[in-house]
Structure 1
Amino acid sequence: MNILKEIINNYFNLTSTIITLVTIGLITIITIISYGLERRITDKSPIYIRLPIHLTEGAILAGSMIILQQTFHVLNNSSVNNGWLYANAQLTILLYSMYLLRNKITLLINLLMPFAYHQSNNLQRLTNVKLPYFIVSYIFLVAIVIYIYWQTDRLQDSTIKYLALQILYGIAWWILLWVDHSFSFSNIFYMLIVFVIYMAIIRFCEHKMQLTLAGYDTLKKAVNYDELTGIRNRSNLDKSSKEIYDKYSHENRVPLTMAMFDIDHFKLFNDKYGHATGDEVLRHVAHTMERELYLRKTHGEIFRFGGEEFIIIFRDKTAEECSPIIVDLRNALYSAPLFLNGKKLNVSVSFGVSELKSSDTGFTDLFNRVDNYLYKSKNAGRNKMTVEDVIYDFDENK
């Protein structure tokens, strides 16, 4: 009973509660900011894009350490009493960041932290009889941190491995702290228990945050992406159009081209084979065009405008530069017919293409001109493209 009372008095009090809440708050901030930053990059992103983001994440982690330190000093009137609170909170954020951020800056911070948290102790350790314990524990910590860095995905799917690595990480760190600040091994045991509780709370909160963010992603996708084809929808185009016009209307030297196309005789697919087949044709066209835009590195953005009509925005390209790209897109679609229920369905498209002009007073002017060109292609017999009021037959441009 005395031991239990001591644990409750020392480890579950108002100061501990405040530190815990501050830790949860910092982790929430780290999660939200890093979530937004990591979405901007992939493993294939160039180093000059990834490095600033990773440095920013490292700065956020370092800033969290400083905030915890200042919070602890305020709560304890600059005393070092109950320093385990501060240490456990920092260990929690360090370990959590390893699972969340997964970059070399976070790895480096974890590896250097034993020498950075109390720099005055670095020289004292050289004459400390416990130096061998420090060396062995540090090597052990390095091995654990590197293992977590490389095996993050597998560990998050296994509660047992997650807990085991968490305990080993805590043991390594608390032995390092024991070298600098002698305390009983019973205290290490109590501190490890509190550390495990901290991480359990954090993992629960992190799980809830991930569900919330995933729900936000789902909602965002539903609002901005076409449910049938998976590409961006008219609502997304409406949101982007103002930004596109404001940027390119003031950049006379930087061109912007819009292409609108629709599927020739699409109504026949629905009437002859049914609406399910019509849906498959829409998906086929959208996916083929999106894939070809990506593979050809055109940086074109494709939207489903409505029905069988689609729009492609080509940034930094003139209408003349886009013409051969559009021919290639059409030919790729035409050379890859849709096979459905034993039937071969050849799909052709008609295009209208125009470049943003200095005389355009808004995005609507560009849209109306492109729409007019599209109808010229259709009225000329379809399977054609009209570029700046000049009609071209795709079959003559293979």
Structure 2
Amino acid sequence: MEGITLNILKGITDNYINLTSTIITLVTIGLITVITIITYGLERRLNDKSPFYLKLFTHLVEGALLAGSMIILQQTFHVLNNGAVNNGWLYANAQLTILLYAMYLLRNKITLLINLLMPFAYHHSSNIERLGSSRWPFFLISYIFLVIIIFYIYWQTNSLKDSTIKYLTLQILYGAAWWILLWVDHSFSISNILNMLVVFVIYMAIIRYCEHKMQLTLNGYDTLKKAVNYDELTGIRNRSNLDKNSQEIYEQYSHEDNVPLSMAMFDIDHFKLFNDQYGHSTGDEVLRHVSHTMERELYLKKTHGQIFRFGGEEFIIIFRGKNADECKPIIIDLRNTLLHSPLFFNGKKLNVSVSFGVSELKPTDSGFADLFNRVDSYLYKSKNAGRNKMTIENVTYNFDETTK
């Protein structure tokens, strides 16, 4: 046993502590960094309601990234070795590392398929002569074992990420199955297989550490982005986000003759009284209650409305693809939902009403500011008419007298 241990340590020292192995390791880390960043950017654009073609395109791109990374590693190794395949386990371990990492990171059917087919596409592993070899039962058993491991990882990715023991165990089993498959076509000694398995575990440990650091960085970026674009109190988009997108919105819809754009601005009636009578904590709760109620209803009713907190108790809703008349029943619904959902806070029942101003983008508008100023004036008209009203294209309606 002591002799095997010494052989393993000697093998690691001779084969991995050198310039070639260092370059391969750095290339592997670089490829995984690229895969992580691109995948992160693609996946965060998807959700359960994303169209099938978008999901398929994303997964195909991720599969292409994985396949391309495997090819780059192989070509890098061949360049470093002047076309020879000596010490091929260097890039074999690197490729196995990327394959397994992709299973944890991507978890899509394209990645699953690549992992399942890779044993047949690997160097020499598709050699028909293996069927005449006395070792072919080992290939069959190891491949079945590998398939079980791959499917287990595919379905249990989240639990494996949270358990170091499970993660390490599956990693060792995955590597062992792969190296037995390769042993069928290449004559490795037991000490060499153990050597390669130990280095594979070390590779994965390095990659997992780097991935953890990258994830912290990306999460920090998301936190910063949210702080810049979302209101800290209510959690909805803020004025900065509206200002940043307003010119783009105007440019897009001012050239779309058949696709309307409407804006609604509303504020909370007599909001100052909530602060004066019950304190600022109650006022904050009223703001959260109104913004969350409006945002939820806009989503549930599939209105394509996007809400922003403009400042204080004022909010803006952008309705893409709807004219002012189409917005009227939506706004009535929003107001009625708010009216029938009073806020209960600190033992008090608080009824909240709102006033609206609504207008759509017109061909005569020279910029987003023209639409904004018009909507703002309509809002003040509703407030001056006694509040709890809406003004649409300069016509004021009393909510209690309107019908859809």
Question: Structure 2: how far apart are the matches of 1:261 and 1:38?
Answer: 34
Cα distance per residue 1:146-183 (max 9 Å; x no partner): 00000000000000000000000000000001111111
Question: Structure 1: how far apart are the matches of 2:261 and 2:373?
Answer: 15
Matched, 1:360 2:365: yes
1:244 to 242, 249, 256: 249
Cα distance per residue 1:236-260 (max 9 Å; x no partner): 0001101101111111111000000
Which residue of structure 2 aligns with residue 205 of structure 1? 210
The more displaced of 9-18 and 117-126 is: 117-126
1:267 to 272, 278, 298: 272
Cα distance change of structure 1 residues 120 and 200 upon mapping to structure 2, 3 Å threshold:
closer
- Asked whether the equivalents of residues 11 and 195 of structure 2 are also in contact (C-alpha less than 8 Å), the reply is no
Report deviation, 1:12: 1.5
Which residue of structure 1 aligns with residue 201 of structure 2? 196
Matched, 1:291 2:296: yes
Question: Structure 2: how far apart are the matches of 1:26 and 1:279?
Answer: 47
- Asked whether the equivalents of residues 231 and 309 of structure 2 are also in contact (C-alpha less than 8 Å), the reply is yes
Question: Structure 2: how far apart are the matches of 1:281 and 1:76?
Answer: 69
2:17 to 8, 12, 21: 12
Which residue of structure 2 aligns with residue 136 of structure 1? 141
Segments of 4+ moved more than 6 angstroms? none
The more displaced of 119-128 and 238-247 is: 119-128
2:59 to 54, 63, 87: 54
Question: Structure 2: how far apart are the matches of 1:179 and 1:82?
Answer: 17
The one-letter code of the counterpart of 1:47 is F
The one-letter code of the counterpart of 2:307 is I
1:225 to 230, 234, 244: 230
Which residue of structure 1 aligns with residue 89 of structure 2? 84
The one-letter code of the counterpart of 1:66 is I
Question: Structure 1: how far apart are the matches of 2:92 and 2:346?
Answer: 65
Matched, 1:184 2:189: yes
The more displaced of 290-299 and 4-13 is: 4-13
- Asked whether the equivalents of residues 266 and 357 of structure 2 are also in contact (C-alpha less than 8 Å), the reply is yes
Report deviation, 1:47: 1.7
Partner secondary structure for residue 237 of structure 2 = coil
Ranges in structure 2 where 5+ consecutive residues have no aligned partner = none
Cα distance per residue 1:323-369 (max 9 Å; x no partner): 10011001000100001111111000000000001111110000000
The one-letter code of the counterpart of 2:139 is F
Question: Structure 1: how far apart are the matches of 2:133 and 2:248?
Answer: 63
Question: Structure 1: how far apart are the matches of 2:198 and 2:164?
Answer: 17
Matched, 1:372 2:362: no
Question: Structure 1: how far apart are the matches of 2:52 and 2:117?
Answer: 23
Cα distance change of structure 1 residues 13 and 226 upon mapping to structure 2, 3 Å threshold:
same
Question: Structure 2: how far apart are the matches of 1:175 and 1:145?
Answer: 16
Partner secondary structure for residue 224 of structure 2 = helix
Ranges in structure 1 where 5+ consecutive residues have no aligned partner = none
The one-letter code of the counterpart of 2:213 is K
- Asked whether the equivalents of residues 231 and 302 of structure 1 are also in contact (C-alpha less than 8 Å), the reply is yes
- Asked whether the equivalents of residues 121 and 180 of structure 1 are also in contact (C-alpha less than 8 Å), the reply is no
Question: Structure 2: how far apart are the matches of 1:283 and 1:43?
Answer: 26
Question: Structure 1: how far apart are the matches of 2:354 and 2:87?
Answer: 73
Partner secondary structure for residue 121 of structure 1 = coil
Quote the RMSD (CA, aligned, Å). 1.2
The one-letter code of the counterpart of 1:224 is N
Report deviation, 1:122: 3.7
Question: Structure 1: how far apart are the matches of 2:170 and 2:382?
Answer: 65
Question: Structure 1: how far apart are the matches of 2:290 and 2:126?
Answer: 66
Question: Structure 2: how far apart are the matches of 1:83 and 1:372?
Answer: 73
- Asked whether the equivalents of residues 12 and 199 of structure 2 are also in contact (C-alpha less than 8 Å), the reply is no
- Asked whether the equivalents of residues 238 and 308 of structure 2 are also in contact (C-alpha less than 8 Å), the reply is yes
The one-letter code of the counterpart of 2:287 is L
Report deviation, 1:120: 7.0
Which residue of structure 2 aligns with residue 151 of structure 1? 156
Question: Structure 2: how far apart are the matches of 1:223 and 1:107?
Answer: 37
Which residue of structure 1 aligns with residue 349 of structure 2? 344
Report deviation, 1:128: 2.0
Equivalenced residue count is 398
Cα distance change of structure 1 residues 120 and 169 upon mapping to structure 2, 3 Å threshold:
closer
Report deviation, 1:119: 6.2
Partner secondary structure for residue 70 of structure 1 = helix
The one-letter code of the counterpart of 1:105 is I
Which residue of structure 1 aligns with residue 178 of structure 2? 173
The one-letter code of the counterpart of 1:196 is V
Question: Structure 1: how far apart are the matches of 2:13 and 2:287?
Answer: 65
1:97 to 80, 83, 102: 102
Report deviation, 1:205: 0.1
The one-letter code of the counterpart of 1:220 is K
Report deviation, 1:48: 1.8
- Asked whether the equivalents of residues 125 and 185 of structure 2 are also in contact (C-alpha less than 8 Å), the reply is no
Question: Structure 2: how far apart are the matches of 1:120 and 1:269?
Answer: 74
Report deviation, 1:43: 3.4
Question: Structure 2: how far apart are the matches of 1:324 and 1:56?
Answer: 42
Report deviation, 1:6: 4.0
- Asked whether the equivalents of residues 72 and 86 of structure 1 are also in contact (C-alpha less than 8 Å), the reply is yes
Partner secondary structure for residue 183 of structure 1 = coil
Cα distance per residue 1:242-282 (max 9 Å; x no partner): 11011111111110000000000001111111111000000
The one-letter code of the counterpart of 1:343 is K
